[in-house]
């Protein structure tokens, strides 16, 4: 059976996801698109797909069985609530939403529905290198994890559109989520330090150094640099009681020439995580075809939102800001019902 999908938001990642749903993956067809910029939606629409005027009309359409949300973060809440009201599985790009209150409203709606419908776009969990790293930590041969060093560098970000809050409420959410997943732990407190500014970003608060205090006592340090110029560089190293486990360097052709011996670095997230995005959608298609969702959940999106909020408070206070989570609904403890 082919899953008929509607895509909301046809900007950078919306277009990339439409490409993979149309040209890379099987068992799925993009039958509908929408964007507040109608011309952009029309030019991104695959042959035969209908261009809808509003997200609400797309979500309610009988031809749409499942929805992919790639609009801006502040628009996600309303679109998620409409998908849940329609009982349709939905893949939502990160961030799930942009406030704690909004995350709680989405969680309440999904819990009232009674089964999972939402998968959040934390693609690192589907990356083969991160999965192997987690297998080593879980295997226990290195002893308990003590510290995790997470490096998140972007070559550049769109000037004017990417603001000083975004290293903490847009970019950090990936490091927060992967730390919780790798270490099987929750984040209890957040500190932020702001070093010398990178002049390439003009007034942008960049880089930032974040400390995530896990409930087990593990400390995660995160470097976020979003104007590092040389490429998209994602690193991770876990220090354990009797050894280290780290992400490998990405395989790349070794070039020797008058500049020395070197290997290319991915330009951006599209290139670095191309296989991870493919795999997150492979698994989403299977679950959505069964009317449900697996993988990163609304609970995980909620947790990342709390970290972003705490990090923004910590920048102002200069102190550790604690995180208090609500009781976890049983829905998010149940084992996954579908797998690729
Ligand atoms: P973008 O600005 O290129 O595209 C967003 C699109 O959504 C635009 O075309 C805009 O017109 C449309 N849009 C905004 N509000 C809308 C609404 N209410 N209804 C319909 N359309 C609406 O941004 P992007 O880089 O593609 O990011 C989109 C989302 O994906 C963001 O939440 C971002 O954080 C996330 N993202 C995730 C990753 C990842 O690695 N997982 C990478 C990039 C972006
Ligand atoms: C972007 O939205 C992403 O999600 C990328 O993965 C991240 O590296 C980048 O910093 C964000 O702006």
200: how many CB neighbours lie within 10 A of its CB?
14
Task: Please tell me whether the interface predicted TM-score (ipTM) of this complex is above 0.95.
Answer: yes
- pLDDT exceeds cutoff 90 at 334: no
Length of the chain, please? Answer: 340
Pocket test for ligand 2, best of 170, 296, 311 (most atoms within 8 A of CB): 170
Q: Please work out whether the CB of residue 171 comes within 6 Å of at least one atom of ligand 2.
A: yes
Encode pLDDT of 152-182 as tens digits.
999 999 998 999 999 999 999 999 999 999 9
Encode pLDDT of 8-55 as tens digits.
999 999 999 999 999 999 999 999 999 999 999 999 999 999 999 999
Q: Please work out whether the CB of residue 154 comes within 6 Å of at least one atom of ligand 2.
A: yes
- pLDDT exceeds cutoff 80 at 66: yes
Q: Please work out whether the CB of residue 227 comes within 6 Å of at least one atom of ligand 2.
A: no
Q: Measure CA 180 to chain center.
A: 13
Whether the ω angle into residue 47 lies within 30 degrees of 0, i.e. cis, is no
What is the residue with the minimal CA distance to atom 6 of ligand 2? 269
Instruction: Please name which ligand lies nearest the alpha carbon of 80.
Output: 1
Residues with CB under 6 A from ligand 1: 8-14, 34-37, 40, 55, 70-73, 75, 93-94, 121, 123, 170, 269
Q: Measure CA 181 to chain center.
A: 12
Q: Measure CA 330 to chain center.
A: 23
Q: Which CATH topology does 125-272 take?
A: Dihydrodipicolinate Reductase; domain 2 (3.30.360)
Instruction: Please name which ligand lies nearest the alpha carbon of 166.
Output: 2
What is the residue with the minimal CA distance to atom 4 of ligand 2? 171
CATH class of 3-122+275-297+326-332: alpha beta
Domain ranges of the chain: 3-122+275-297+326-332, 125-272
Encode pLDDT of 90-131 as tens digits.
999 999 999 999 999 999 999 999 999 999 999 999 999 999
Q: How far does the centroid of ligand 1 lie from the alpha carbon of residue 171, in Å?
A: 13
């Amino acid at each position: 059976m082919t899953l008929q999908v509607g895509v909301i938001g046809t900007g950078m990642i919306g277009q990339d996801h439409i490409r993979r749903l149309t040209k890379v993956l099987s068992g799925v067809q993009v039958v509908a698109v929408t964007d507040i910029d109608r011309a952009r939606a029309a030019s991104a629409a695959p042959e035969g797909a209908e261009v809808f005027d509003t997200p609400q009309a797309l979500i309610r359409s009988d031809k749409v069985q499942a929805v992919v949300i790639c609009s801006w973060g502040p628009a996600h809440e309303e679109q998620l609530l409409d998908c849940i009201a329609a009982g349709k599985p939905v893949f939502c790009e990160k961030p799930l939403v942009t406030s704690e209150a909004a995350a709680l409203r989405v969680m309440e709606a999904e819990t009232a529905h009674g089964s999972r419908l939402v998968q959040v776009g934390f693609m690192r969990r589907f990356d083969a290198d991160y999965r192997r790293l987690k297998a080593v930590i879980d295997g226990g041969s290195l002893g308990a994890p003590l510290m995790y060093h997470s490096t998140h560098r972007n070559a550049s970000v769109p000037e004017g559109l990417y603001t000083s809050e975004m290293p903490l409420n847009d970019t950090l959410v990936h490091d927060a989520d992967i730390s919780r997943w790798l270490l099987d732990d929750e984040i209890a407190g957040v500190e932020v330090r702001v070093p010398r500014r990178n002049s390439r970003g003009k007034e942008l608060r960049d880089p930032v150094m974040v400390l995530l205090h896990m409930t087990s006592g593990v400390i995660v340090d995160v470097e976020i640099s979003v104007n590092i110029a040389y490429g998209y560089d994602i690193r991770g190293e876990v220090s354990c009681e009797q050894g280290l486990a780290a992400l490998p360097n990405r395989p790349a052709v070794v070039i020797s020439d008058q500049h020395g011996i070197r290997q290319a670095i991915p330009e951006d997230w599209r290139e670095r995580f191309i296989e991870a995005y493919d795999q997150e959608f492979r698994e989403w298609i299977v679950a959505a075809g069964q009317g449900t969702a697996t993988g990163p959940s609304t609970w995980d999106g909620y947790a990342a939102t709390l970290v972003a909020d705490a990090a923004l408070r910590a920048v102002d206070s200069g102190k550790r800001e604690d995180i208090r989570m609500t009781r976890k609904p049983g829905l998010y403890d149940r084992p996954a019902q579908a797998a690729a």
